[in-house]
Amino acid sequence: HKPAGKIITLPDGLIFAIEYDRYLLGSDPAALSPFPAIEKECALRVPGTTALPGWQIVADILKREQFVDEGNSYTECFDLARTGDKLTIRPRRPGDRFQPLGMSQLKKLNQFMIDSKIPRAWRRRVPIVCSPEQIIWVAGWRIDERVKVTGNTRNMLRLELKKVT
């Protein structure tokens, strides 16, 4: 059992951080996060492509029959009737809650991140996609139960978070 979240300051401005399944060494452990640095809330183009620092998020509207489970944590499909097209992407905020897929009740986003073993240094960089009503996707981890594709879904929203190369 490792002491997850422990940070040791080293000479020359280096930081050694112990996380759940990895050790991070650098001047800023957050910089080692695979996610873009999103400083403020930004509207998503639906449908369309929204540029993020070093990344982009592509939004497509599809018919239910076009549903394919991509098995990729950076691509998710949602029930468009439940999400709407007025979406934003932002960093997490204190007190955020959502209902993770498969759960029957709301959960604090911070607790979800701890339970999912998301390294502490990365948590502020995990993109949070929201509708006007709620968080719909903790990008890379889980969608909200209330916006999942069901047998009654007619139109789907497909979001793909892609690194720009």
Using CB atoms within 10 Å of the CB of residue 57, give its burial: 0 to 12 exposed, 13 to 18 middle, 19+ buried. buried
Residue 120 has a pLDDT of 82
Is the pLDDT at 76 greater than 90, yes or no? Answer: yes
pLDDT in tens, 110-161: 999 999 988 887 898 999 999 999 999 999 999 999 999 999 999 999 999 9
CB 49, CB 57: distance < 8 Å: yes
Taking CA atoms, 35 is separated from 31, 88, 91, 104, in Å, by 9, 16, 11, 28
Determine the CATH number of domain 34-163: 3.50.40.10
Sign of torsion over alpha carbons 124, 127, 131, 137: negative
pLDDT in tens, 5-45: 677 788 887 878 776 677 777 776 666 677 888 989 999 99
Q: How large is the average pLDDT for residues 50-63?
A: 95
